[in-house]
Amino acid sequence: MDLSRFPRRNYTPFPTPLERAPRFSAALAASCPGGVGPDIWFKRDDMLGLFPGGNKTRKLEFLMGEALAQGADTIITCGAPQSNHCRITLSAAVREGLKCRFVIEERVPGSYSQTASGNNFMFHLMGIEAITVVPGGSDIAAAMAQMADQVRAEGGKPYIIPGGGSNAIGGLGYVACAQELQQQFFDQGAQIDRVVVGSGSSGTHGGLVAGFLGNHIKIPIVGIGVSRDPADQEPLVFKEAQAVADLLDVGLTIPRDAVVSVGGYWQPKYSIPNAAMVEAVQMLARTEGILLDPVYTGKIMAGLIGLAREGYFKPSEQVLFLHTGGLPSLHAYEDVVLGRVEV
């Protein structure tokens, strides 16, 4: 899969680490059937460039490459009030000397606060030009198109990036990740049996599926839903994976059974804390010194822990967890993740 024909910016001039988590694996095994659990590895995409890292950086290398090639001067994107995607997109825009505007969807009524900490604080610190807040369930594409019209009326040239950077161009970032992983598996002699990844706007999960299949990496991928259960999530991921494959024009048809997701761990609602997430965040912090976030990686890891305890993984299976970042939003949930507030 040749990515060289696509405009691309390089925000991370090194491969992110592939590392074992022995203390976490031991702690997890103690609560698994027979005291034996999977051997957990981490792909540290929380250490990608554009402070402070996260999976959106890979997507933005290609999305910003296209925006600059088209001569854009203003980036428009969307997300929830504590959106990691919005924060990293703004960081990329600042790096490139472009303006940036957001449409923020208040998916949980009353959840947006202009004075909130976490990512929201960073939006203002990095100089966001404008934020439009809309109610949950709004037509976000229409809201971004209206914002783009405003930019044009002011003499600017907008470039719209969809939520999560999840389209075929953004998905190329996780084809690149698949290629990076393939080299790391070889260099480190890692025999990975399964990959666990977050499944939300679908760009990371879908891009990785296309990348694995297109590069003949025969390792199953399981997505942990962060906002939807499989009946709603898997069709989105399948569509994204095929769109990425079609863009690369390699004659690849994505098998429907290559897209697997698990639901339930995101409940009771997107971004609303639950006890399994709190346990996962505390467990990783206290065994490996690795920080997860409450909205995404905390619930994804809760899914991995839950599957391990259910016997989903074979004993001593080598499982790779794709750490997609999200650190700043951790600060907006301090009382919850420290157990001061019951969930």
pLDDT means per 10 residues, the chain with 343 residues, are 96 97 98 96 97 93 98 97 93 98 93 87 94 96 98 98 97 98 98 98 97 98 98 98 97 98 96 96 98 96 98 95 91 91 90
- Please identify every residue annotated as catalytic: 83
Q: How far apart are CA 79 and CA 200, in angstroms?
A: 12
Cβ-contact 239, 245 below 8 angstroms: no
Domain with CATH 3.40.50.1100 in the chain: 18-54+167-337, 56-165
3-state secondary structure of 14: coil
Amino acid at the residue 170:
G
pLDDT at 241 (0 to 100): 98
Question: What's the DSSP call for residue 255?
Answer: P
User: Tell me, what amino acid is at 6?
Assistant: F
pLDDT score at 307 = 98
Please give the DSSP secondary-structure letter assigned to residue 35.
Answer: G
Tell me the pTM. 0.95
- Domain spanning 56-165 has what CATH number? 3.40.50.1100
Predicted pLDDT of residue 282: 97
Q: How far apart are CA 162 and CA 160, in angstroms?
A: 6
Q: Where are the alpha helices (DSSP H) in the chain?
A: 22-29, 56-69, 84-96, 119-125, 140-153, 168-188, 203-214, 230-248, 275-287, 297-309, 327-330, 334-337
pLDDT at residue 167, as a whole number: 97
pLDDT at 327: 86
Q: Looking at domain 18-54+167-337, which CATH architecture does it have?
A: 3-Layer(aba) Sandwich (3.40)
Residue 164 is given by DSSP the state: G
pLDDT for position 329: 82
